[in-house]
């Protein structure tokens, strides 16, 4: 067993310390014992664990929707609607919507992501969702679909998100109506992927989009990476940056992308994208095994890059 496999095996044991997300019934049905990791460089891919599993992107999609909207409108226009400041609050927190000129703090919390959903290019809900799926498909090289069971389940338990959307609308921070913004946001959270798709997505950031069909302004990619560092791991982003030191984004499905700009992990060299799926999450919403894996990986392979 090589060093990487040992780190995987050690981290897998941590699945027992977490619980699958319970606030959305369809996510509560996931098997918390699962743990899958995919690491991708220009030349090789290494897969460990339950890599055939599919799951939904959840908040990982927030990075992509931000890029699509910012690429379309320009960052200056986007900044009128959503800031790039971390909050340290939980992802669905509503408390700060009456401070900071009522403007959502960043696109990685639900308030900012719902605003971004309303700003996506397209006249209809369908076109807005498609603007993001098309961009994602260009990165991962295959068609994606929405998991309707998760979407309907999210929609039926979206009281907090609906409340957030109404406050955003009342303060002029929605460019569509509440229902459309909410439905676009929840459909995007429900895009189905596997761990290898996540690695490709992370690899896109590792190469600054250079080896992909999906075209995005370099400045926007830089801001997306900065947002991952400052707000990507919910209210554990500070600790993640301090002790792991990689741009990363997580979702409550147990998905994580992590970006290595230049590293060496076994046979992989140079830019490396890491995709993780471990549905047992901690109190904050991050995969427990995923965090443990990245912690040891960063230390053992000297990947800290901030
Ligand atoms: O808004 C929700 O409840 C979820 N669909 C968001 C998912 C998530 O991963 C948490 N977000 N930051």
Q: What is the pLDDT of residues 69-102, one digit of tens each?
A: 999 999 999 999 999 999 877 777 777 777 778 8
23 is in an annotated binding site: no
Pocket test for ligand 1, best of 63, 168, 231, 252 (most atoms within 8 A of CB): 252
Q: Same domain, yes or no, for 177 and 274?
A: no
Same domain for 247 and 202: yes
Q: Is residue 121 helix, strand or coil?
A: coil
- Whether 178 and 135 share a structural domain: yes
Q: How many residues are there in the chain?
A: 306
Task: Please report whether residue 305 resides in a domain.
Answer: no
Q: Within this chain, do residues 119 and 202 fall inside the same structural domain, yes or no?
A: no
1 Cα: distance to centroid of ligand 1 (angstroms):
36
* Residues 234 and 177 occupy one common structural domain: no
Number of separate domains in the chain: 2
138 & 187 share domain: yes
67, 39: one domain: no
**How many alpha carbons fall within 13 Å on the CB side of residue 71?**
18
Ligand 1 centroid, distance to 300 Cα (angstroms): 31
Would you place residue 297 in the very low, low, confident or very high pLDDT band (cuts 50, 70, 90)? very high
Are both 47 and 63 inside the same structural domain? no
Torsion from C-alpha of 1, 248, 54, 150, nearest 10 degrees: 150
pLDDT at residue 64 tops 90: yes
Q: Is 252 in the pocket of ligand 1 (CB under 6 A)?
A: yes
Q: How many angstroms from the chain centroid is the CA of residue 74?
A: 21
Query: Would you call 252 a catalytic residue per the annotation?
Result: yes
Task: Say if 151 falls within a structural domain.
Answer: yes
Cα distance between residue 176 and residue 138, in whole Å: 26
Q: What pLDDT, in 10s, does the model give residues 164-181?
A: 999 999 999 999 999 999
| 155 in a labelled binding site | no
132-165 burial: b if 16+ Cβ within 10 Å, else e: bbebbbebbeeebebbeebbebbbeebeebeebb
CB-CB contact of 32 with 280 (8 Å) = yes
pTM attached to this predicted model: 0.97
Q: Residue 217 domain-assigned?
A: no
Looking at the structure, do residues 46 and 69 belong to the same domain, yes or no? no
**Model confidence over 114-172: pLDDT tens digits?**
999 999 999 999 999 999 999 999 999 999 999 999 999 999 999 999 999 999 999 99
| Domain identity same for 104 and 17 | no
Assign 6 a pLDDT band (cuts: 50, 70, 90).
very high
Q: For residue 62, indicate whether it is catalytic.
A: yes
Same domain, 66 and 41: no
Query: Would you say residue 218 lies in a domain?
Result: no
DSSP string, 148-211: HHHHHHHHHT-HHHHHHHHHHHHTT--SS-HHHHHHHHHHHHTBEEEHHHHHHHHHHHHTTTTT
Q: Are 243 and 140 in a shared domain? A: no
Q: Looking up tokens 């979407």, which residue turns up?
A: 151
Query: Is 250 near ligand 1, meaning CB less than 6 Å away?
Result: no
In a domain, 257, yes or no: yes
Check residue 283 and give its pLDDT: 94
Domain span holding position 70: 59-191
Provide the CATH number for the domain around residue 203.
Answer: 3.40.710.10
Ligand 1 within 6 A of 32 CB? no
Ligand 1 near 287 CB (within 6 A): no
Q: Which of 263, 131, 294, 267 has the alpha carbon at shortest distance from 198?
A: 294
Q: How far is the CA of 226 from the centre of ligand 1 (A)?
A: 20
């Amino acid at each position: 067993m090589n060093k990487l496999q040992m780190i995987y095996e050690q981290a897998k044991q941590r699945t027992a310390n977490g619980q699958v997300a319970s606030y959305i019934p369809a996510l509560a049905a996931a098997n918390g014992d699962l743990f899958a990791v995919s690491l991708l460089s220009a030349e090789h891919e290494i897969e460990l664990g339950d890599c055939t599993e599919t799951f939904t992107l959840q908040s990982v999609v927030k990075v992509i929707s931000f890029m699509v909207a910012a690429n379309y409108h320009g960052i200056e226009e986007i900044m009128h609607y959503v800031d790039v400041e971390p909050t340290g609050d939980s992802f669905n927190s509503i408390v700060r919507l009456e401070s900071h000129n009522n403007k959502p703090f960043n696109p990685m919390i639900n308030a900012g992501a719902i605003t971004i959903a309303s700003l996506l290019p397209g006249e209809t809900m369908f076109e807005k969702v498609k603007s993001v799926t098309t961009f994602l498909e260009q990165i991962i090289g295959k068609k994606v679909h929405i998991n309707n069971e998760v979407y309907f389940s999210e929609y039926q338990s979206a009281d907090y998100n609906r409340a957030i959307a109404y406050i955003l609308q009342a303060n002029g921070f929605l460019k569509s109506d509440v229902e459309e913004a909410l439905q676009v946001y929840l459909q995007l959270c429900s895009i189905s992927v596997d761990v290898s798709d996540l690695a490709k997505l992370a690899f896109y950031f590792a190469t600054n989009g250079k080896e992909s069909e999906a075209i995005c302004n370099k400045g926007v990619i830089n801001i997306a990476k900065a947002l991952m560092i400052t707000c990507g791991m919910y209210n554990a982003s500070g600790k993640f940056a301090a002790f792991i030191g990689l741009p990363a984004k997580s979702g409550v499905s147990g998905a994580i992308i992590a970006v290595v700009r230049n590293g060496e992990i076994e046979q992989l060299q140079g830019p490396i994208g890491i995709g993780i799926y471990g549905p047992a999450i901690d109190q904050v919403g991050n995969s427990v095994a995923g965090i443990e894996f990245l912690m040891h990986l960063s230390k053992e392979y000297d990947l800290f890059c901030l």
